[in-house]
Amino acid sequence: MPAPAPAPAPAPVQEESEVEPWIAELWIDPEWYAEQRADDPMPSAGPPTVVVLRERSLLVGRPSVSRGISPQIDCGTDSGVSRRHCQLSTDGYRWWVEDLQSANGTFLAPAGAALPQTPIAPGGRREIDEGDRLYVGAWTRIVLRKALPGEA
């Protein structure tokens, strides 16, 4: 009787340092602001705030010293953003967003698409493709993309 064929070798596991770094760009979006009809005045739009995504799970929100909340992605003065608005998470290759029962919803749209009208269900989780637009609060648009050389 012939010997059984050897089991295939497992796929190589990439080390953490081999995983491509990603960036979150935080934009002030006048078009989103107009749709939201917020009472707060919108800050001047300008270049995005760039955040290097160094962790596997990141909180998006607004800080609160009294409640001990320090989001890794700080949406600043956008009062339409909940303190703990949504969570970004990755397996090192793909990204997801989960709405954390935010007051005003978390919205996701593909790059180049019209503004989204339907929020992610509270507690719901959706995969984010590179370049997708994540909308939170009154004027905040977050775009996830792979980091350019020298950016991370």
Q: What is the pLDDT of residue 4?
A: 55
Q: What integer pLDDT is reported at residue 151 of this predicted model?
A: 85
pLDDT of residue 32: 98
Q: Candidates 2.170.190.11, 2.60.15.10, 3.10.20.70, 2.60.200.20; correct CATH number of 20-146?
A: 2.60.200.20
Do residues 24 and 88 touch, judged by C-beta distance below 8 A? yes
Per-domain residue ranges of the chain: 20-146
Sheet hosting strand 86-90, strand order edge to edge:
73-74, 57-61, 86-90, 95-99, 125-128
Return all residues near 146 (Cβ < 8 A) that are at least 6 apart.
20, 21, 22, 23, 130
pTM: 0.86
Q: How far apart are CA 79 and CA 117, in angstroms?
A: 20
Question: In the block, which residue shows the tokens 């270049």?
Answer: 47
For residue 134, the cross-strand partners are 108, 142
Q: What is the reported pLDDT for 16?
A: 46
Question: Along the 152 residues of the chain, how does pLDDT read in single tens digits?
Answer: 555 555 555 544 444 445 679 999 999 999 999 999 999 999 999 999 999 999 999 999 999 999 999 999 999 999 999 999 999 999 988 999 999 999 999 999 999 999 999 999 999 999 999 999 999 999 999 999 999 998 87
Confidence at residue 1, expressed as pLDDT on a 0 to 100 scale:
54
pLDDT at 14: 44
Half-sphere exposure in the Cβ direction for 146 (13 Å, CA): 8
Residues 34 and 65 sit within 8 Å (Cβ to Cβ): no
Q: Tokens 């990755």, residue? A: 90
Output the CA–CA distances (angstroms, integers) from residue 73 to 3, 100, 112, 118, 152, in the order listed.
Answer: 56, 14, 23, 23, 16
Angstrom distance (rounded) from CA 79 to CA 88: 20
